[in-house]
């Protein structure tokens, strides 16, 4: 019963959508330990709304500003520390969503998301999206995880595949599993279920 972490190569690459698709495909639960920004429109609410069997675990930390967690926490008068993020006792397979990318800071003392990933010892799915500069961002993310000996479950492309980019990824990481989900312009339980079905078919 492996649980998985979902991280991205940066912001706005579709981590929450991919997390919802994985929850649907794996019949998994969902946990996002830090939620920052509009607390009336949480990522956990998105996942809860568009999946059919997913239970959402409450976030450890809710922050009121749509900023990097270290600054959002400072503005809220909170200090984030590693011991606040021990893994809960999951009753079933769970998808854990990070924020931003692997080097997003959690405090001013050097704690970053990648430190939590290393602490949790769970395989990580990296979400990428093809745009000018995405090869650099993707390779930096994969190399950062590998340097910490954090297992990489696979690279998930949100949107259309780009064979030229993927050849580069596999020249650096020959065993890297690359899958895709279609970029969704409209969200519904049906569209998430369809994307989940397409993702499952790529596992064969």
Q: Which residues participate in catalysis according to the annotation?
A: 32
d(CA 108, CA 75): 13
HSE-up of residue 165 (Cα within 13 Å, Cβ side): 19
| Residue labelled with tokens 């279609």 | 182
| Tokens (6 digits) for 89 | 């006792």
d(CA 159, CA 113): 25
d(CA 4, CA 94): 7
Residue among 154, 157, 96 at smallest CA distance from 121: 96
């Amino acid at each position: 019963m492996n649980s998985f972490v979902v991280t991205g190569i940066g912001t706005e690459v579709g981590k929450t959508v991919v997390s919802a698709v994985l929850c649907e495909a794996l019949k998994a639960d969902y946990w996002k330990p830090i939620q920052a920004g509009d607390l009336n429109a949480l990522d956990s609410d998105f996942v809860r709304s568009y999946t059919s069997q997913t239970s959402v675990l409450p976030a450890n930390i809710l922050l009121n500003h749509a900023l990097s967690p270290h600054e959002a926490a400072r503005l809220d008068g909170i200090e984030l520390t590693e011991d606040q993020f021990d893994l809960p006792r999951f009753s079933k397979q769970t998808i854990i969503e990070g924020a931003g990318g692997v080097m997003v800071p959690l405090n001013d003392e050097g704690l970053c998301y990648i430190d939590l990933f290393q602490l949790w010892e769970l395989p990580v799915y990296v979400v990428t999206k093809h745009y000018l500069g995405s090869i650099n961002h993707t390779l930096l993310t994969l190399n950062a995880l590998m340097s910490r000996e954090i297992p990489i479950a696979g690279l998930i492309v949100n949107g259309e595949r780009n064979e030229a980019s993927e050849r580069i990824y596999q020249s650096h990481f020959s065993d890297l599993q690359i899958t895709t989900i279609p970029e969704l312009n409209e969200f519904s339980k049906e569209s998430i279920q369809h994307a989940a079905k397409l993702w499952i078919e790529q596992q064969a």
